Amino acid sequence: MNAAFWHAKWQRNEIGFHERQPNAFLIRHFPAMHLAAGSRIFLPLCGKSLDIHWLLAQGYQVRGIELSDIAVRQLFAELGLTPRITTMNRLQRFEAGELCIFVGDFFDLTRHELGPIDGVYDRAALIALPAPVRQGYATHLISITDAASQLLICLDYDQSCRPGPPFSVDEAEVRRHYEDRFQLTCLERQDIPGGLKGTCPAVETVWKLEPRSEPAR
């Protein structure tokens, strides 16, 4: 799994992972984050998600990072926005109104470039990454957002049924990545009707991550 894989997906328009409406879990559970309108929400590996449309409509500022230039240009076009495009080190920054998306490698994004973040929404970032990358992803995400509270959506299924992505990330792994810095609350678990792409049973789990005042011992 590398950058070329995702670039090819967007170039061929093979974007079955792109939901055709805002995510129901986001709409149902984002209020549990208790973030006031105007708060700055970060979406890692955001694509051109319609969740961004929804968050902007609720009055939030949205920051994101996405590998594909194609996805980001389509996002702004679908929102009817003309972005200002600037280069920041190894990244490009697309910005218009309350929306700012960085284009490039997630691991090249720094806290300084991103700026203050009030909350993180991870619908399909952690589960898009293979196991060897996920710990580094979680560590970097915590660092650049200063351990901001998080709404995280994961899939849990028998990984031997299919290779992924999306990958299976069960409760034990979520706790391994995040429990030291966050209090974890499972907000909902729901079976996917018909299983994951019709291949095997799967469960989606919604987690709320609230920063601890001190790391867990």
Task: Please give the C-alpha separations between residue 76 and each of 8, 48, 50, 166, 180, in angstroms, as whole numbers.
Answer: 20, 8, 11, 25, 37
Q: Is 45 annotated as a binding residue?
A: yes
Q: Whole-angstrom Cα distance, residue 100 to residue 29? A: 23
Q: Is 66 annotated as a binding residue?
A: yes
Six-digit token pair at 216? Answer: 């867990």
Q: Is 123 annotated as a binding residue?
A: yes
Q: Whole-angstrom Cα distance, residue 124 to residue 154? A: 7
Angle CA 60–92–8, to nearest 5: 100
Q: Is 12 annotated as a binding residue?
A: no
Q: Quick one: 188 exposed, middle or buried, by C-beta within 10 A (0-12, 13-18, 19+)?
A: middle
Nearest to 45 by CA among 15, 12, 87: 15
Six-digit token pair at 113? Answer: 């470039």
Strand partners, 210: 183
Give the residue numbers of the binding site: 10, 45, 66, 123
Give the residue numbers of the binding site for S-adenosyl-L-methionine: 10, 45, 66, 123
